[in-house]
Amino acid sequence: MSLFFCISALRAIVEMLGLCLIAQALLYMMAGQGRSKNPIYRFFALLTRGPQHCVAACLPAKTPSMLIAGLTFLLLFCCWIGLAILRRFL
């Protein structure tokens, strides 16, 4: 398996997670208090739980969840750009 393929696959996964965070934020605003019953919102929350827990582990315990989600998106975006640059130079 080539390194180019591995980087491209990892970049696709990072892109999918970033898009799931954006969709989850939009559903958060649209669904309001009923979001916990929305199966699509719960699906996006399931997919993004891992990266958000990793970011939350690096922050103080009382950090608001919206800040954790924003920092997770920023981290995923930086990884996505970094992988694009890395793939470009291979």
Model confidence pLDDT, tens digit, residues 40-68: 999 999 999 999 999 999 999 999 999 99
Total of domains in the chain:
1
Confidence band (pLDDT; 50, 70, 90) for 69? very high
Domain of 66? 3-88
pTM recorded for the entire structure: 0.90
The tokens describing 42, both together, are 């719960």
The 3-state DSSP class for residue 45 equals helix
Listed in sequence order, the residues at least 6 apart from 31 whose beta carbon sits closer than 8 Å to its beta carbon are 38, 41
pLDDT of residue 1: 72
Confidence band (pLDDT; 50, 70, 90) for 32? confident
Angle between helices 39-57 and 3-31 (to 10 degrees): 120
User: Mean pLDDT across the stretch 13-25?
Assistant: 97
